[in-house]
Amino acid sequence: MKDYYRILGTDSNATQDDLKKAYRRLALKCHPDRNPDDKEAEERFKEINEAYTCLCDPQKRMNYDRFGAAGAPSFEGFTGGFGDIFENIFGDFFGDAFSGRASGRARGSDLRFDLNITLEEAASGTEKSINIPRWQGCVKCGGSGSKDKGPSVCPACKGAGHVRFQQGFFSVSRTCSRCHGQGSIITDPCEACGGLGKVKNYRDITVKVPAGVDTDTRLKIAGEGESGVRGGPAGDLYIVTGVEEHPFFKREGMNLYCKAPLSFPQAALGAEIEVRTIDGSHKLRIPPGTQPGEGFRLKGMGMPRPGSRHKGDQIVIVNIAVPKHLNQRQRELLEELAKTAGMQGDTDSKGLKKKLKDIFTGAGTQ
C-alpha cells in the first residue's frame, strides 16, 4: 500500500496547510518542466500529485485513512504543464488575476462631502439638501464608452486582460498594458464622454442629520458615490459634519457650558433667574451666598447621544456683574455697606472702590 503521508514527507496528523506546503515544495522540485527527460522525477511527480489529490479532499482522506490507497485517483500519463501546477497551487492567493481573467467591472469611488451645521441643528437633528458633483454612466453610449459598434477585443491579450510570459521556469501573468486589464479597447470613442463611459454630473441629495452629531461625525449614504465601471456597483457617499462655534454655549462631549450674570444682591441674597438652554429657557434657583464662578447643573439639558434618548447636562457658571455707573442713592448704600464691612476708616476713593470691587468679585472673602 502506498503511504501518501510518507510521499509528501508529513505524518497522519498533518493539517491541510501542512499538506499544501509540502505539496507545493515537492511539486516545484520534481515537475517535468524543471526536470526534462528525467523519468525518475516524472514518476515522483505523479506520486506527489496522487498523494495530494487524495489527502487534500476530506472525504477521500478519511477513506484512505480507513481503507488505504484502494480507489485512489490514477495519474498515469499525467503531463500537466508547469503553469497548470502554479494555477492550482497559488490560485487561492491570486484568484482571477493569476489565471489571466478580467471581468472589467469595478466598484465606483467613494465620495466625501463636508457639511457645516449650527449647534442648534446638531442638538435637534436636521435635514439638508446638498449638491454633489460625481461621475455617472454616460447615457448616450450606455456606459460602454464606444460611439457605435462597441468595444473591440484587445489585440494584445486577446480579451483576457492579462498576458503571460515565461521567466526561467516560472510562468508569470501581468495586467495587459494595452487595455489595462479590461480585455477590450475603444476604437471609436463616444463624443459625449470621450470614451470614458461616464460623465460628471451634479445631483441634489437630501441628507438626514441625526440629533447629537459632533464635528467629524461620518454619515454614510450607500450607493451615492461614483458610478461603477462597466456595470460595477456604485461607491458610497460619506457626509462629514462640522458643528459651528456657538456665541453662548461651549460644548464638551454631551455637556454644554454657559455663563450667567448675577448682581451682587442676587448672589448675596439668593434669587430665581431665567437661563437660556439649547431648547429654550429654564428657571434656575440661586441660593444665598453664591460665589463668583460657582457652577449649577441642569440635568438632561445638554446634547443628545446619537441614536439614544439620553442627554448630557448643561452647566451654568455664574458671574457677578459689577455696575460701571452708580446714582447718588446707590453710592450711599454701597458706602454704608462698606462701613459695616469694616471699611469705615478708608476715605481714599480709589481704595474704597477697590474694596467694593473685591466685595463684588468675591476677592478677600474667606
Domain count within the chain:
4
Which residue, 292, 294, 286, is CA-closest to 365?
Answer: 292
Cell digits of residue 158:
486577446
Query: pLDDT digit of tens for each residue in the chain (366 aa)?
Result: 688 889 999 988 888 888 888 888 888 888 877 787 888 888 888 888 888 888 888 878 877 777 665 545 444 444 444 444 444 444 444 444 444 444 556 788 899 999 999 999 999 999 999 998 877 778 888 777 777 767 778 888 888 888 877 655 566 778 888 887 778 887 788 888 877 777 888 889 999 999 999 999 999 999 898 877 666 788 899 999 999 999 999 999 999 999 999 988 899 899 999 999 999 999 999 999 999 999 999 999 999 999 888 999 999 999 988 888 889 998 888 888 878 866 554 444 455 455 555 555 544 443
Dihedral of alpha carbons 358, 360, 363, 365, sign: positive
Q: Let me know whether 240 and 257 are in one domain.
A: no
The rounded distance, in Å, linking the Cα atoms of 259 and 2 is 88
β 314-320/250-252 pair status:
unpaired
Instruction: Give 113's DSSP letter.
Output: E
CATH of the domain at 293: 2.60.260.20
**Residue at 181 is within a domain:** no
Q: Let me know whether 345 and 308 are in one domain.
A: no
Which residue, 209, 207, 208, 206, is CA-closest to 304?
Answer: 209
Q: Let me know whether 120 and 213 are in one domain.
A: yes
CATH of the domain at 89: 1.10.287.110
How many CB atoms neighbour CB 291 within 10 A?
A: 11
Which residue, 247, 210, 218, is CA-closest to 123?
Answer: 210
Q: How far is CA 129 from CA 84, 206, 238, in A?
A: 56, 4, 14
**Residue at 90 is within a domain:** yes
Instruction: Give 145's DSSP letter.
Output: -
Determine the 3-state secondary structure of 37 from DSSP: coil
**Residue at 53 is within a domain:** yes
Q: Let me know whether 66 and 41 are in one domain.
A: yes
Instruction: Give 323's DSSP letter.
Output: P
β 126-137/111-117 pair status:
unpaired
Q: Let me know whether 265 and 209 are in one domain.
A: no
Q: Let me know whether 111 and 224 are in one domain.
A: yes
Residue 141 belongs to domain spanning = 106-146+190-244
Q: Bridge partners of 185? A: 152
The rounded distance, in Å, linking the Cα atoms of 329 and 28 is 107
| DSSP letters spanning 239-280 | EEEEEPP-SS-EEETTEEEEEEEE-HHHHHH-EEEEEEETTE
**Residue at 204 is within a domain:** yes
**Residue at 294 is within a domain:** yes
pTM of the model: 0.54
In the listed set 34, 64, 94, which residue is the last one of a domain according to the structure?
Answer: 94
**Residue at 236 is within a domain:** yes
**Residue at 169 is within a domain:** no
Q: Let me know whether 267 and 347 are in one domain.
A: no
**Residue at 156 is within a domain:** no
Q: Let me know whether 12 and 86 are in one domain.
A: yes
Q: Let me know whether 121 and 215 are in one domain.
A: yes
Cell digits of residue 157:
491579450
Q: Let me know whether 198 and 212 are in one domain.
A: yes
Q: Let me know whether 230 and 351 are in one domain.
A: no
Q: Let me know whether 137 and 17 are in one domain.
A: no
